[in-house]
Amino acid sequence: MTLEMFFQHFLNALQWGSFYALIALGYTLVYGVLLLINFAHGDIFMVGAYIAFFIASFLLGSYSLQLPFVLDGNTIFVITVIITMVVTSCVGVTIERVAYRPLRKKGAGRLYVVITALMCGLVLENGNLALLGASRKSFPELIEKSIYTIGGITFTNVKILVIVTTILVFILLETIVRKTKLGMAMRAISYDSVAVLLMGIPLDVVIVFTFILGSSMAALAGVLFVTAYPVLEPYMGAMVGWKAFIAAVVGGIGEIRGAFVGGFILGFIEIYVAAVFPSTLRDLIAFAILLLLLSLKPTGIFGIARAQKI
């Protein structure tokens, strides 16, 4: 492998890892607060992508209901991102309200909530299949693509956008969780959700806020994903979601740094394995390495051992 190719793969891996990292952040946020593995998260990512598709198509004037003015691609992209994050957050909060909260109030075991999450994911997938059919949708090209070549390394503006956004999101979330009052409340709930109530912290508000954060990250990941890989299908969230979950566990689930690092580790392993070996071995080697990492440090890279975990 020449140096040039090494850096090209490096850039590819940064982009691919960014998606894992963004989705893993959502898993880790919810787990950090509720100790709940929100298995519907991969499908919320898919829902986000579809919402973005409909909003972008609407803003582009593809439907009979037209806007009175014409927007340029970049503006449409920004508006799409914002509206998608808001709408997808509503979906996330609705799921929490309808599926998880009643169980929590009844004091159901955590296992039941996890199973419920799994069901919610399947409902979203198959609901989409029933509603929109199985045919693929093509995401419109909102940002005009430019291809740059510097020193034999080729990249697009979309690639840079994805990587930079992921890093910014990471910094933002770290700040929210570490520096704000809400973040402090989130951390407190994960320590002791009973004592927190006695301290006058509104438990439900903080949980809803967590779901808003997590779902809007999934929405952001969804928009960026379909901008980079513009084919939408109902099952697009399943595999990526599972892998991002594994990335979050490897990084240490519940830790924001963990999700970020875990996502990039998985992205790098996948790209470099496919670059050196036949790609059939990709998942085999990738997961063997992750298994080894976990057996060396069962709590994940940044994880702290806790008394109870599922």
Partner 1 sequence: MRKGILLVMCCLTAVIFLISCGPEAPKTIKIGFNIPLTGDIPKVGEGSKFAAEMFKEKVNAAGGIKLGDKSYPLEFIYVDNESKAESATAAALKLINQDKVLGIIGPQSSKQAIPAGEICNNNGTPMISPWSTNPKTTKDRPYVFRGCFLDPFQGPVAANFATEEFKAAKAAVLYDIASDYPKGLAEFFKEAFEKVHGPGSIVAFETFTTKDRDFSAQLTKIVKSGADVLFVPQYYDEVPLIVKQAHELGWKKPIMGSDSWGSAELMNLCGDDCKGLFFSTHYAAAGAQGATKEFIDKYKEKYGYVPDDVGALTWDAIRLMVQAVQNAGALTGDMKKNRDAIKDQLAKIKDFDGITGKMTFNPEGDPSKCAVVVKISNTGEFEFYKSVCP
* Residues constituting the chain: 310
First to last CA, the chain: 42
- Interface mask (CB under 8 A) for partner 1, residues 273-302, using x and -? -xx--xxx-xx-------------------
Minimum gap (Å) between residue 100 Cβ and partner 1 = 29
Judged by phi (left if over 0) then psi (alpha if -120 to 50, else beta), residue 117 lies in: alpha
| Rounded Cα gap, residues 51 and 60, in angstroms | 14
Separation of alpha carbons 233 and 254, rounded Å:
30
Total residues at interface with partner 1 (CB under 8 A)? 40
Question: Which residues, including other chains, have CB under 8 Å from residue 23's CB and lie 6 or more apart?
Answer: 41, 42, 45, 217, 218, 221, 240, 241, 244, 263
Near partner 1 in 2-31, by CB under 8 A: 2, 4-5, 8-9, 12, 15-16
Closest contact distance (angstroms) between CB of 275 and partner 1 is 4
**Could you give the string, one character per residue 202-241, with x where binding to partner 1 holds by CB under 8 A and - elsewhere?**
---------------------------xxx-x-xx--xx-
Q: Does 243 bind partner 1 (CB under 8 A)?
A: no
Does 129 engage in binding with partner 1 (CB under 8 A)?
yes
For residue 9, the 8-state DSSP code is H
Token code pair at residue 290: 């992750």
Q: Does 62 bind partner 1 (CB under 8 A)?
A: no
Q: With respect to partner 1, which residue has the nearer C-beta, 9 or 41? A: 9
Spatial separation of the C-alpha atoms in residues 301 and 259, rounded to whole Å: 10
Task: Identify the CA nearest to 267 among candidates 282, 280, 254.
Answer: 282
Minimum CB–partner distance for residue 5 and partner 1 (Å): 6
What does the binding site for partner 1 look like in residue numbers (CB under 8 A)?
2, 4-5, 8-9, 12, 15-16, 129, 133-136, 138, 141, 145, 147, 149, 154, 156, 158-159, 229-231, 233, 235-236, 239-240, 270-272, 274-275, 278-280, 282-283
